[in-house]
A and B are shown apart, each in its own frame.
Chain A
Amino acid sequence: MRLFLFAIGGTGSRVLKSLLMLSAAGARPLDENGKPLRDLEIVPVIIDPHKANEDLKRTEALLNDYRDIRRRLYGNEPNAEGFFANRIVTLREIMSNTSVTLSDSFIFNLGAVENAKFREFIGYDTMNEANQALTSLLFANYQLENKMNIGFVGSPNIGSVALNEIKDSNEFKAFSNIFRQGDRIFFISSIFGGTGAAGFPIMVKNIRQAANLEGIENRDALSRAPIGGLTVLPYFTLEGSKQDQRIATSDFIVKTQSALYYYKNTLTGDNDSNVNSIYYLGDQVRSKPYLYDPGEHGQRNNAHLIELIGALAPLDFAGMPDSKLSDPDGYPLPTAAYEYALAKDELSINFLSLGRRTRQLIYEPMCKFHLLFLFLTTGFKDIIGQGFTEDAPKIKSDFLASQFYRTLVDHFMEGYAQWLTEMNDNMRSVALFKPGEVDMAHAIEGVDVKKRLLGHYKVDNDVLKAEMNKLSKNNPKYSEHSVEYKLMDLFNQAAHNVFVERYENIN
């Protein structure tokens, strides 16, 4: 099954980043029996005209790193266990029809939209006087003058016009060619901004009305496709700007209300089956104020708990049984809405604050990934030449200079550390791991290591190395694999053993 994941706007990119981190940790969608879903490919498509958006750029870089790392570990195998388990691919990577030209990128090319002012895009100057007057009623002057390469600056009324072009794009055609029955579609967007609030309903409309579009294949499959969406309600605040009021925190609720009414009437009403599953997520506790930036300076918002929780939505949707999404004839069922609640309403969130189901999905994978992060950044280079590194295939010192290692440690792990720090510094503070703590035994917030006869168990690089030595001894499994696979798979198993044996079980 392929899950086409449309991440729209800045929030879409940030939630996608959290999903990447969870996927890197090895969190996988579970089916109704609690088993990891097999043959899953996630196809993220970022829709954001604001190419200079820092959040988008950071997510795109991490997506490329993730793809490189995973390819090196598992090749094109969709089923993998352990770190970087979920296969993440671009549209270009999976398309067989070469008649459509497409760049190998996760970003939807909105060339026509990005390069114009809104007034140029709608041909304002060529309108007659009456139409110009009507347009001026619908759009404020700053909206008409908005150059759309900085996004829609919180104006869904611009987005709803501009993003309608998507249906004519190569990306949309490629997507429609690739889409098959059994695949699913998921949207991630915020409802209180411009791009996401407008992009989600337009994309759903275009997919459901695919039968009316020209040059689109698989019309039937698209019009019956199971569609889910994460709609992010207000969760952050902006520093006020006296000179520029294009985006104001005080407007978020009003915009949300209006958009929710619109969604109710067009997407998610009682008998509406345009969207089968909708996940609403927001927080009355607002983030620390973000720098006011309508787009000109790159817009870089810190990672947030809502984005982490939001990343669980596509995983949940992917694992949902077909019977919850389609009727026996294959037609989509009416919308079911989902919400999320913390187990403990606290300002500082650790694993114990999350519900049992969330913990079962992410607790062990995230802890193991954090141990990997500490292991690779604090002790790995010193153990090359000893123990498991000397078993075939040997991990030699030149491995530290390899593209794989540099991508993993210098890029991805750095992004991971930054993501953790940003979430920790935000409000609510996500303190899953103690910032800066390199002692593995005390790194997980709120979770201790088990007691033994004298004191507590130790967890450090030596313990992990000893476990990896044990697992690697006379193990023929790795002789056919790369050193990268050997390192990551051994660590995954070793960390699992150490985790189960030495840390308190909170699940």
Chain B
Amino acid sequence: MKHLVYLGIGIVVTVVFFILSCSDGFNIYEQLFFNQGYNDKMFNLNMYPVIAAITIGLAWGGAAIYYYAINSVKFDRWYHWLAVLGVVAVLTPVVCYIYNDTVFADNGLMYITESIMFELQTVLFAALLFIVASFSMRWWSSNCRHTPIPQ
């Protein structure tokens, strides 16, 4: 039961993150990096929900792969988990950047520096969501349920 509560909390936090990333008023992506022209374009081109979805997908997907696909006694130490977090934290901005660049290019726009600055915050969000996902789903893993911190 306790574990289902953790899963529920994780899903709620993730949904709130998604809602805040699409919001016109308080937009979570505009709190750490704001450039009027760049962020307006992001919003108008409806890119925030996709960026958020990529971040959520990679964070939860990475955690799922670690706990249920890798799920090995050879990779059950905290530093193995940290390595996967690192991969997610690097992969997410790269994928987001490629997406940004493609959409901007399709619209005849180019925001290289701004995009790089923007993607830095997705490193943070991806890492945070990976931690949330880890603590939501790890309990049912046969070999890694005690990683990174024992129950």
Q: Which A residues have a C-beta under 8 Å from some C-beta of B? A: 383, 385-387, 390-391, 394, 462, 465-466, 469-470, 473
Taking the complex as formed, is B150 at the interface, i.e. its CB lies under 8 A from any CB of chain A?
yes
A286 to B109, CA, bound (A): 94
A126 to B145, CA, bound (A): 81
Residues of B within 8 A of A465 (CB): 73, 143
Taking the complex as formed, is B102 at the interface, i.e. its CB lies under 8 A from any CB of chain A?
no
Q: Do B151 and A466 touch across chains, with their CB atoms under 8 A apart?
A: no
Taking the complex as formed, is B46 at the interface, i.e. its CB lies under 8 A from any CB of chain A?
no
Q: Do A469 and B150 touch across chains, with their CB atoms under 8 A apart?
A: no
Taking the complex as formed, is B76 at the interface, i.e. its CB lies under 8 A from any CB of chain A?
yes
Residues A469 and B151 in contact in the complex (CB < 8 Å), given A386-B76, A387-B76, A462-B73:
no
Q: Which B residues have a C-beta under 8 Å from some C-beta of A? A: 72-74, 76-77, 140, 142-143, 145-147, 150-151
Q: Do B73 and A387 touch across chains, with their CB atoms under 8 A apart?
A: yes
Of A391, A466, A470, which is in contact with the most chain B CB atoms at under 10 Å from its CB? Answer: A466
> A462 touches which one: B74, B140, B150 (CB < 8 A)?
B74
Residues of A within 8 A of B140 (CB): 473
Q: Do B146 and A386 touch across chains, with their CB atoms under 8 A apart?
A: yes
A250 to B150, CA, bound (A): 67
Residues of B within 8 A of A394 (CB): 150
How far does the Cβ of B68 sit from chain A's closest Cβ, in whole Å? 13
Q: Do B73 and A466 touch across chains, with their CB atoms under 8 A apart?
A: yes
Query: Can you add 19 more A-B contacts, CB < 8 Å, to A469-B73, A473-B140, A473-B142?
Result: A385-B150, A386-B73, A386-B77, A387-B76, A387-B146, A390-B150, A390-B151, A391-B146, A391-B151, A394-B150, A462-B72, A462-B73, A465-B73, A466-B72, A466-B142, A469-B142, A469-B143, A470-B142, A473-B145
A465 to B71, CA, bound (A): 12
How far does the Cβ of A398 sit from chain B's closest Cβ, in whole Å? 15
Between-chain CB contacts (< 8 Å), 20 pairs: A383-B73, A385-B150, A386-B76, A386-B77, A386-B147, A387-B76, A387-B143, A387-B146, A390-B150, A391-B146, A391-B151, A462-B72, A465-B143, A466-B73, A466-B142, A469-B73, A469-B143, A473-B140, A473-B142, A473-B145
How far does the Cβ of A465 sit from chain B's closest Cβ, in whole Å? 5
Residues of A within 8 A of B145 (CB): 473
Kindly report which residue of chain A lies nearest to residue B151, judged by CB atoms.
A390
How far does the Cβ of B49 sit from chain A's closest Cβ, in whole Å? 37
Of A383, A387, A465, A473, which is in contact with the most chain B CB atoms at under 10 Å from its CB? Answer: A387
Residues of B within 8 A of A385 (CB): 150
A473 to B71, CA, bound (A): 13
| 8 A-B pairs closest in CB distance | A390-B146, A390-B150, A462-B73, A470-B142, A465-B73, A466-B73, A469-B143, A469-B142
Residues of A within 8 A of B151 (CB): 390-391
A386 to B151, CA, bound (A): 10
A470 to B73, CA, bound (A): 11
A224 to B97, CA, bound (A): 91
Of B74, B77, B146, which is in contact with the most chain A CB atoms at under 10 Å from its CB? Answer: B146
A383 to B150, CA, bound (A): 13
Residues of B within 8 A of A466 (CB): 72-73, 142-143
How far does the Cβ of A368 sit from chain B's closest Cβ, in whole Å? 19
A330 to B143, CA, bound (A): 57
A385 to B77, CA, bound (A): 9
How far does the Cβ of A37 sit from chain B's closest Cβ, in whole Å? 35
Residues of B within 8 A of A390 (CB): 146, 150-151
Residues of A within 8 A of B73 (CB): 383, 386-387, 462, 465-466, 469
